[in-house]
């Protein structure tokens, strides 16, 4: 009977600790793995994402040679460039994935050059 009681106590402790460990996923942290939203753009867009967010990756298709995309932390596409992705060869894709997500405190605005260029933002 003591062995059965000890076994039940051990199982309860183990399952309880697992529950505490998994409960952390209820709070969001920029470094955690999870779903991200995407936004696809084919032209300049001020206030692309009109809220603070984290950028997890930028996919860029160069529609023309020497195309580039500049991404700003502002409601307008001006100020300090936070992310810049470029591609010298027409028709090639460039994927930028920072080691840690980049926090944008205000909003996200995009300055896209090159006709037929496409940018896909991965954010949360």
Give residues with Cβ within 8 angstroms of 73, minimum separation 6.
Answer: 79, 80, 82, 104, 105, 106, 107, 108
DSSP string of 14-50?
A: HHHHHHHHHHGGGS--TTS----EEEEESS-EEEEE-
pLDDT value of residue 47 = 77
pLDDT at 83 over 90: yes
pLDDT at 50 over 60: yes
Q: Map residue 59 onto helix, strand or coil.
A: strand
Residue 65: pLDDT band with limits 50, 70, 90: confident
pLDDT value of residue 5 = 66
Domains of the chain: 33-123 (2.60.120)
> What's the rounded Cα separation, in Å, for the pair 100 and 121?
15
> What's the rounded Cα separation, in Å, for the pair 10 and 96?
47
Question: Phi, psi (5° rounding) for residue 90?
Answer: -65, 135
Task: Please check whether residue 60 is in contact with residue 118, taking contact to mean a CB–CB distance below 8 angstroms.
Answer: yes
- Whole-number average pLDDT of the chain: 81
């Amino acid at each position: 009977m003591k062995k059965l009681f000890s076994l039940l106590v051990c199982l309860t402790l183990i399952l309880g600790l697992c529950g505490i460990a998994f409960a952390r996923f209820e709070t969001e942290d920029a470094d955690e793995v999870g779903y991200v939203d995407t936004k696809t753009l084919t032209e300049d867009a001020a206030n692309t994402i009109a809220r603070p967010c984290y950028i997890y990756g930028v996919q860029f298709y160069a529609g023309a040679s020497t195309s580039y995309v500049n991404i700003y932390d502002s409601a307008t596409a001006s100020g300090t460039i936070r992310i810049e992705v470029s591609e010298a060869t027409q028709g090639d894709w460039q994927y930028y994935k920072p080691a840690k997500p980049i926090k944008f405190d205000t909003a996200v605005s995009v300055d896209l050059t090159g006709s037929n260029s496409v940018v896909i933002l991965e954010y949360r």
